[in-house]
A and B are shown apart, each in its own frame.
Chain A
């Protein structure tokens, strides 16, 4: 069984400051981990994906995430927030890398970016 815990339901940052969205996961297997973003009234867009090739994963729009097995964490970061980053972010786990398995979503973190 797998699960995902997003530690913050809401994060507010000022434009130009760093972003940190926290995620912890639990999986019995060798999982794939993802971050998806959902802008208002839009679908779920893939930001980045971790398999096992590298622990630091770079995604779109300047986001990156670091896989830490010892901490079972997969936190999402961005050095400098932009107003357009305001959205809901979901940490997601798939139990088996490379297979068509169901995804398990976290509860989401709403990122607010202020001037």
Chain B
């Protein structure tokens, strides 16, 4: 069964450094998403992406964040200058373009630790 994959599983970085989190969505999916879960808190929506554009973003997704689909398979989330409060589990998700468009399939997550 096709799966969403994410790399790395755990990333440790120093405050102020740039990080790139990588995701490979399910191959025939058209919509891509990033969510995050700060320890002990809810899973929160960050951004959705379709047709090489951001289609929706939350208040969390400020100028420090960017997303890209650099090729036909990868979907990345970049944080330009990490802060302590960016420490969280980041989940990538994808959905297809048909009648199951609202059904999002999630990857295993990347745990980001900012020191």
Binding site for B on A (CB under 8 A): 32, 34, 36, 42-46, 49, 51, 90, 94, 96-108
Cβ–Cβ < 8 Å partners of A43 in chain B: 4, 91, 106-109
Q: A32-B102, A90-B43, A94-B102 are in contact. Are A102 and B108 (CB under 8 A)?
A: no
Q: Is chain A's binding surface mostly helix, strand, loop or mixed?
A: loop
A-B contact pairs, 15 of them (CB 8 A): A43-B4, A43-B106, A43-B109, A44-B43, A44-B91, A44-B93, A46-B106, A94-B102, A98-B99, A98-B102, A100-B102, A102-B33, A102-B45, A102-B58, A107-B41
Residue from A36, A49, A96 in contact with B106 in the complex, judged by beta carbons closer than 8 Å: A36
By the criterion CB–CB under 8 Å, are B103 and A49 in contact? yes
By the criterion CB–CB under 8 Å, are B42 and A105 in contact? yes
Stretch at the interface among B48-56, B65-73, B74-82: B48-56
Cβ–Cβ < 8 Å partners of B109 in chain A: 43
Interface centre among B44, B58, B102 (most CB of A within 10 A): B102
Which interface class (under 10, 10 to 19, 20 to 34, 35 or more) fits B? 20 to 34
